[in-house]
């Protein structure tokens, strides 16, 4: 799974599946898992197979999918590769053509275009008070492959959840989980930019797990349902140890969604349903609608989520990099082995600027070029992108 996949080195954006420190990041998601309530893991019905829960018509999740696709199209329009880059892929698409494969292998825009559209850039969140980027980045994607993978996963996971719990709860679960993924990602990734919906998608997975736990009495084949869902979650989290995948966004979104599931997705206990919807049950002694552990999990989750978000935002706005406080945490995002390296492959350039012209020299290959800037005050991401183009 992926809060999004990342473009190539030149684009300085990674798939959120997880970014590395010093890299740009995107977020992505793998194959969608089945809902625990799907056969053969259907909640047990109290009378003749009838379940007394409202079935909602899904419209919000499809709307989210259309919004993400529309924003990707707008991003490509803003990118305008023929005007802003020397070479483009699929030039017959005009200003909707893609950046070169070496710059963005996901078939998408440049990192500067994503930055303009609201990508997560910690420097701007901390020093320019643009905290809104923690939310805007979950609606942006780094390329065609990225947006397709995430939106297909959203359809398969989100529609079932919206049918079961309604658009309000699932909408809040999606957006708040996306924020949680962005927050944890920003606390560990201080350089580059990040985009993608994978944090929100992992939040839906986390909500599915907590919903199964808190509504345990309603499920048949409980253990099988639990083991299946846990296996799917672990497989998707394991993808995050690959290079250029933002596993911090995945983990942050999953934890947020897991806690939110205990708050938003609580069902009445089985005995209460049986009592209310059977003739014999109506004559019995009334029992509590929810079990004690459901109330306890609701309170604990609300406290943990509130405190975690408040502390996370405070630490982020103070400019703290949690990698400096946790020497091993970077392994949650990438585990180095013989076949790949987790080190950030960053290029370094010397530059001088005169007005709208920047003279830049790449230290690794000695190449020099003079770039015409759109304005005299380029952003850090724009400068990094020019340096990567020169060094690639």
Q: What is residue 21's predicted lDDT score, i.e. its pLDDT?
A: 37
193 and 69 housed in the same domain: yes
363 lies in a domain?
Answer: yes
174 and 63 housed in the same domain: yes
Q: What is residue 284's predicted lDDT score, i.e. its pLDDT?
A: 62
Of 83-92, 200-209, 370-379, highest mean pLDDT: 200-209
309 and 161 housed in the same domain: yes
Question: What is the tens place of the pLDDT at every residue in 275-289?
Answer: 776 655 555 677 888
Least confident of 127-141, 143-157, 179-193, 291-305: 179-193
Q: What is residue 47's predicted lDDT score, i.e. its pLDDT?
A: 41
Q: What is residue 208's predicted lDDT score, i.e. its pLDDT?
A: 95
Name the β-bridge partners of 369.
Answer: 360
CB contact at 8 A, 320 and 187 = yes
46 lies in a domain?
Answer: no
Number of domains the chain contains = 2
Q: What is residue 309's predicted lDDT score, i.e. its pLDDT?
A: 97
* Residues catalogued as catalytic: 198, 250
- Spatial distance between the Cα atoms of 89 and 98, rounded to a whole number of angstroms: 5
143 and 223 housed in the same domain: yes
324 and 183 housed in the same domain: yes
322 and 358 housed in the same domain: no
Question: What is the tens place of the pLDDT at every residue in 199-228?
Answer: 999 999 999 999 999 998 888 788 888 898
Residue 5 has pLDDT above 60, yes or no: no
263 and 356 housed in the same domain: no
Residue 43 DSSP code: B
230 and 375 housed in the same domain: no
Q: CB pairs under 8 A, 24+ apart, for 130-136?
A: 131/313, 131/317, 133/182, 134/179, 134/182, 134/183, 134/186, 135/175, 135/178, 135/179, 135/182
387 and 262 housed in the same domain: no
323 lies in a domain?
Answer: yes
Residue 91, domain extent: 59-268+289-333
148 and 191 housed in the same domain: yes
196 and 224 housed in the same domain: yes
Which CATH number goes with the domain that contains 102?
Answer: 1.20.1540.10
228 and 369 housed in the same domain: no
Burial class of 44 by CB neighbour count within 10 A (0 to 12, 13 to 18, 19+): middle
> Which of the two residues, 205 and 55, has the higher pLDDT score?
205
């Amino acid at each position: 799974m992926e809060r999004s996949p990342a473009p190539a080195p030149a684009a300085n954006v990674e798939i959120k599946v997880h970014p590395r420190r010093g890299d740009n990041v995107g977020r992505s998601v793998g194959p969608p898992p089945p809902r625990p309530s799907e056969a053969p893991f259907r909640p047990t019905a109290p009378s003749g197979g009838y379940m007394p829960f409202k079935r909602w018509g899904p419209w919000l999740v499809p709307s989210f999918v259309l919004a993400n696709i529309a924003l990707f199209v707008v991003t490509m329009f803003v990118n305008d590769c023929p005007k802003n880059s020397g070479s483009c892929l699929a030039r017959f698409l005009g200003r909707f053509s893609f950046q070169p494969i070496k710059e963005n292998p996901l078939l998408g825009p440049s990192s500067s275009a994503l930055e303009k559209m609201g990508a997560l850039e910690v420097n701007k969140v901390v020093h320019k008070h643009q905290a809104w980027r923690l939310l805007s980045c979950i609606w942006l994607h780094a390329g065609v492959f990225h947006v397709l993978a995430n939106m297909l996963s959203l359809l398969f996971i989100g529609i079932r959840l919206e049918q079961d719990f309604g658009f309000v709860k699932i909408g809040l679960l999606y957006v708040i989980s996306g924020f949680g993924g962005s927050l944890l990602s920003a606390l560990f990734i201080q350089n580059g930019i990040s985009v993608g919906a994978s944090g929100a998608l992992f939040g839906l997975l986390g909500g599915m797990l907590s919903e199964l736990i808190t509504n345990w009495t309603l499920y048949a084949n409980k253990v099988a349902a639990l083991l299946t869902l846990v296996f799917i979650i672990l497989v998707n989290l394991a993808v995050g140890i690959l290079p250029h995948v933002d596993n911090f966004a995945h983990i942050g979104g999953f934890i947020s969604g897991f806690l939110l599931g205990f708050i938003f997705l609580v069902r009445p206990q089985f005995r209460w349903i049986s009592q209310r919807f059977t003739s014999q049950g109506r004559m019995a002694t009334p029992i509590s609608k929810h079990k004690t552990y459901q109330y306890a999990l609701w309170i604990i989750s609300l406290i943990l989520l509130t405190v975690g978000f408040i502390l996370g935002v405070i630490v982020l706005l103070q400019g703290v990099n949690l990698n400096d406080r946790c020497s091993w945490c970077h392994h949650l995002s990438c585990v180095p082995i013989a076949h790949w390296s987790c080190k950030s492959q960053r290029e370094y350039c010397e530059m001088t600027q005169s007005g709208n012209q920047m003279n830049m020299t790449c230290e690794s290959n000695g190449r020099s070029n003079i770039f015409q800037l759109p304005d005299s005050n380029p952003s850090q991401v724009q400068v990094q992108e020019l340096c990567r183009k020169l060094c690639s």
